[in-house]
Structure 1
Amino acid sequence: MKQASWMLLGAVFLWGLTVVPVKWAMETLHPFSLMCMRLLTAGLILFFFAKRNAKARRHAGAQQEGLIIPWKRMAMLSFTGVAGYFLCNFSGMSLTSGVHASMIAAMLPLFTLSLAALYLKERVTISQWLGLLIGMAGVLMITLQSQSKASFSVLGDLLVLAGEFVFAIYVIQQKRPAGEEKMPSEWFTCLTLLIGGIMVIPFALAEVWMYGPPVFNGKTFACFLFLTLGCTVCAYSLWNQALKTVSAARAGIYLNATPLINVATAILFLHEPLTAMTVLGGFLVLIGVAWAERNKQRNSPAEPFLESKSL
């Protein structure tokens, strides 16, 4: 159990470092090109490992069923969980600060809560709705503060917020599985990455046509490698290995540290300012999430499955 906890911490720490290399990489790369290359490269790497593991299991004599892929379902999940989410998130991060993006990203549990009530008819208490309102008030404080610096873009903040809403739709879809739950997790992840990356290709090509091909230097290439190998392949592997021995409900608690790490690294490495209004808004978002999650655990059983933003 102790080893699993370290794996969870390692995965969350890697995801918490995402904002800084993304902002550095976008100094020379446009967001859609960076996103497309990252998704396709990570997907191909995970495809290689999935094939190797399947071959190793065959050699070991393990009984295996044929891989059945629900392609329409996978396309829908790839659009919401990968292509749609990253299109909004990377576009927003190119316009706003890493601090703003990190704090707004903490709204995901509250969006998931509201969609579960609307579409899955799950019971949501008044206290949980109150947590949602507190969190939204925090987002408004972050987004609508005085635009004294160019990096604080309302449009960028709203795009990041839209990305979290799209990813919440992805989480809700997975609460009612329709075939993908029978696939090994390694195949599910590599296929969603690859399909999502293919969906982003037209946007990347349009970007190349408008601004020219991607430009790499040493710093950009190092950031790209870290995002692909560290924040995607390695973090995902650690997370799923830990979930073999740790419940999804307990693992989900670790994810609350991700926006805090992103904020800290954005201030430390990007030298971004932290205004009093941003601090207060971020505090309200975290209070809203903590309040809603506390009442959720008190009034309902733990979720049997949790899909993190391991992409």
Structure 2
Amino acid sequence: MSLSYWLLLIAAQTIWACSYTAMKIGLEYLPYSLVIFIRYGLVAGIFTVYWCFRGFPKVSKKLLWISAIVGFCNFYGSQFFQLQGLRYTQAIDVSILILFEPMLTVLMAFFILHERISKNLWIVLGIAMVGFFLISDIRLGTQSDAWSSLRLFGNMLFLFALVFEAICSVFGKVITKELHAIDAMGMLMSFGGIGAFVIHAPLILQYDYTSIPLRAWGALLFLTLGCSVFAYTAWYYAISKVRVQYVALSLFLQPIVGSLVGFLILDEKLTIKTLSGAIIISGGLLWWQTRRKAMLHEAEPRT
């Protein structure tokens, strides 16, 4: 794989790793509803301008409904649970828990598309859950303190958010058969912003936006331009050019970068338990992907 594609993947993963810190900064000054609306409202505006020059995507009524439902579930529903989870846990924790996403995507493909899965998936999910409870600082056999209980609750909310992300990835296969990946992501994210407006219209229309400090605006613009527009575009461009296993390997950057950013900017704690949990989840995911690659290779027809 050429250096340019590696750099794109590194840039995308680094930006996404920093997004959890940016979300926590946004929550310091704004309710979660405005963090979601401003982020995806700006994204919708950017894509509208893009489509004015390039032409609006032509979609069937069925695909429009699918995009609306999936876009709302992922870019409002997932964001809701992520932001709620971040109120109770660390950005370091969730940057590690993102490693669950490829496993959950395969699991959702099994439930939704009835794709075959191997017993290795259940094994790695069991291993990863051990890491999850270590990260959450659960003390088995002893009385957990209030912070540990809240941290577990926050991490559970974030894990639930990843189910929505996985569902979006599964339906993405259907949507991108008819639409270019950039148009598909633009539509999905726009429906997230529209959904936020419909649900929170009174607050959105009455809020004093001049009271938002520059630090919060900086975080919101980073989420909009960096995470939503650039990172997704770079990600899908790289996917179209390189093998999936290389893209999957880049996912391991998020726990490293996310932990460093949370530690340096938010002064979060990186304990031995957190580090041990990260190693267990990372090791399990790496083992699963290696086994999955070998099984796919064996299943290829011989010529």
**Contact kept in structure 2, 1:39 and 1:197, CA below 8 Å:** yes
Q: Aligned letter for 1:221?
A: W
Matches within 5 A, 1:60-99: 67-69=58-60, 70-99=63-92
- Structure 2 residue aligned with 1:100: 93
Instruction: Give how far 1:68 is off.
Output: 2.0
**Contact kept in structure 2, 1:47 and 1:187, CA below 8 Å:** no
Instruction: Give how far 1:148 is off.
Output: 5.7
Aligned-partner SS, 2:216:
helix
Matches within 5 A, 1:11-50: 11-50=12-51
> Equivalents in 2 of 1:117, 1:195: separation in Å?
26
Unaligned runs of 5+ residues in structure 1 are 56-65, 303-311
Q: Aligned letter for 2:28?
A: E
Q: Aligned letter for 2:221?
A: L
- Structure 2 residue aligned with 1:127: 120
TM-score of the pair, normalised by structure 1: 0.83
Q: Which has the higher helix share?
A: 2
Instruction: Give how far 1:180 is off.
Output: 4.6
Matches within 5 A, 1:1-311: 1-54=2-55, 67-69=58-60, 70-143=63-136, 145=138, 146-147=144-145, 149=147, 152-175=150-173, 177=174, 180-205=176-201, 215-300=211-296
Q: Aligned letter for 2:275?
A: V
**Contact kept in structure 2, 1:30 and 1:207, CA below 8 Å:** no
Larger mean CA deviation between 164-173 and 109-118 belongs to 109-118
Deviations for 1:146-168, whole angstroms, at most 9, x for unmatched residues? Answer: 44648953321111011012211
Aligned-partner SS, 1:87:
helix
Q: Aligned letter for 1:239?
A: W
TM-score of the pair, normalised by structure 2: 0.85
> Equivalents in 2 of 1:50, 1:78: separation in Å?
18
Q: Aligned letter for 2:279?
A: F
Q: Aligned letter for 1:171?
A: S
- Structure 2 residue aligned with 1:60: none
Instruction: Give how far 1:92 is off.
Output: 0.9
Check 1:205–1:50 CA distance in 2 against 1; reply closer, same or farther (3 A cut): closer
Q: Aligned letter for 1:173?
A: F
Larger mean CA deviation between 117-126 and 186-195 belongs to 117-126
Aligned-partner SS, 1:71:
helix
* Count of aligned pairs: 289
> Equivalents in 2 of 1:272, 1:206: separation in Å?
35
Aligned-partner SS, 1:108:
helix
Check 1:285–1:207 CA distance in 2 against 1; reply closer, same or farther (3 A cut): farther
Check 1:246–1:275 CA distance in 2 against 1; reply closer, same or farther (3 A cut): same
Aligned-partner SS, 1:33:
helix
Deviations for 1:14-58, whole angstroms, at most 9, x for unmatched residues? Answer: 111111221112111111211111011012212322332349xxx
Identity %: 21
- Structure 1 residue aligned with 2:301: none
Q: Aligned letter for 1:235?
A: A
Check 1:288–1:182 CA distance in 2 against 1; reply closer, same or farther (3 A cut): same
| Alignment root-mean-square deviation, CA | 2.7
Unaligned runs of 5+ residues in structure 2 are 139-143, 299-303
Check 1:252–1:89 CA distance in 2 against 1; reply closer, same or farther (3 A cut): same
> Equivalents in 2 of 1:151, 1:42: separation in Å?
35
